[in-house]
Amino acid sequence: MEIVNFTPFSALAGGALIGLSACLLMLASGRIAGVSGILGGLLHPVPGERGWRIAFLIGLLLGPAAVGIAGGSVPAPSFQTGTLGMIAAGLLVGFGTRLGAGCTSGHGVCGLARLSRRSLAATLVFMIVAMTTVYVLRHIFGGS
């Protein structure tokens, strides 16, 4: 049996911070905090858009460092697959992000908060595909 480290208070605090950052970005710039869109905007930059995009992405990377500096625990990532599996997963996520015209943060956090039907449909598809993938990999292919 697998032991799960369920931490509801830190999960609640993290979710609240994600929601707060999404609200602040919307209030400050009228932009949706969809990470794929923010990153994609750097590939085709619009004048005046580059600075906040870079700052947002750096903030995503510095968040765990800030938690560690503040004395919190930051678990080391562990991967259940090798390099080839990680490359395949990254490509599939990228493809799905383009196909769904956004990512889980844009649709799942910001879109659902705006009561967007398109975001609801996209989030349902994300979740169904994720659950199906885990089921197939663990129970049909016998992965851990």
Domain residue extents for the chain: 8-140
Q: Is 71 helix (H, G, I), strand (E, B) or coil?
A: coil
- What is the tens place of the pLDDT at every residue in 36-91? 888 888 888 888 889 989 998 998 889 888 888 988 877 777 877 788 888 988 88
> What does the pLDDT read at residue 7?
79
Residue 46, pLDDT score: 85
Asked if the model's pLDDT at residue 29 lies above 60, the reply is yes
Give the pTM: 0.73
pLDDT for residue 82: 83
Distance CA 112, CA 121 (A): 10
